[in-house]
Copies of this chain bind each other. A is one copy, B any other.
């Protein structure tokens, strides 16, 4: 048995100026930015959801700009298998997470638990 839920989303921005991209999205969504520590901070800036429900990041990317969803889980391997059975396919493994593609074409990521609400609200799969 494992658990998963929607963690939030990442605003993928093809930009040389991550700070400026994050400032736009923070102002647009009425959120504060929070720098991430170390090397992660070079590619990602977190946006703080005022309702504390979503984990949101702005990411500097090489591919076209888009928005992708993150699914958080306490068992990446089991969750990837569950999603494959639904018709998604694995694209790549990056550090601790897995990039997948939906049958309808959108890329999304399967990540370790990162939202405050994971323990209380994730759905359990048998």
Contacts and interface: CB of A to CB of B under 8 A. Distances in A.
Interface range, A side: 35 or more
Given A30-B123, A50-B121, A123-B30, A104 B64 contact: no
Q: Which one of A13, A27, A28, A122 has the greatest number of beta carbons of chain B within 10 Å? A: A28
Contacts of A83: 28
A11 B66 CA distance: 12
A51 B5 CA distance: 11
A31 to B, nearest CB: 8
Interface of A: 4-6, 9, 11, 13-15, 20-21, 24-25, 27-31, 49-51, 53-54, 64-69, 71, 83, 86-88, 102-106, 108, 117, 121-123
Given A27-B86, A66-B66, 12 more contacts: A5-B30, A6-B30, A6-B31, A9-B67, A11-B69, A13-B104, A13-B105, A50-B121, A51-B53, A53-B53, A65-B105, A67-B67
